[in-house]
Amino acid sequence: NAGVTQTPKFRVLKTGQSMTLLCAQDMNHEYMYWYRQDPGMGLRLIHYSVGEGTTAKGEVPDGYNVSRLKKQNFLLGLESAAPSQTSVYFCASRAGDLQGNYGYTFGSGTRLTVV
């Protein structure tokens, strides 16, 4: 059982380039999230999805787009990368029915550097 898988794990982009980060979960979770972690800033919510075909903005959505065409996948796109988007990106998922620890599962992260 892989849980939440993020690809790629590392990437270096030039300013203005585009890329897509892929998050895949095999737990049949309804909810999926993209966070970014920056030094001294904690984890900030970029976008999230409450089910297949739905997306919503989080705290820091500017410069990013997302898609949830399949329930198991949540894609995060950068159309024109900027140095300010240098960060570690984490994907998370959880079931729609909240229980106990709220069942959030995080991926191991994608370290993105924009030069």
Partner 1 sequence: DQQVKQNSPSLSVQEGRISILNCDYTNSMFDYFLWYKKYPAEGPTFLISISSIKDKNEDGRFTVFLNKSAKHLSLHIVPSQPGDSAVYFCADQAGTALIFGKGTTLSVSS
Q: Which residues bind partner 1 (CB under 8 A)?
A: 4, 31, 33, 35, 40-45, 48, 50, 56, 58-59, 90, 92, 98, 100-102, 104, 106-109
Amino acid at 32: M
Other beta carbons within 10 angstroms of residue 16's beta carbon come to 10
Question: With respect to partner 1, which residue has the nearer C-beta, 86 or 104?
Answer: 104
Least distance from partner 1 to the Cβ atom of residue 16, Å:
28
Q: Please name the residue that has the structure tokens 């890329």.
A: 19
Residue closest to 46 by CA, chosen among 15, 12, 88: 88
Least distance from partner 1 to the Cβ atom of residue 23, Å:
11
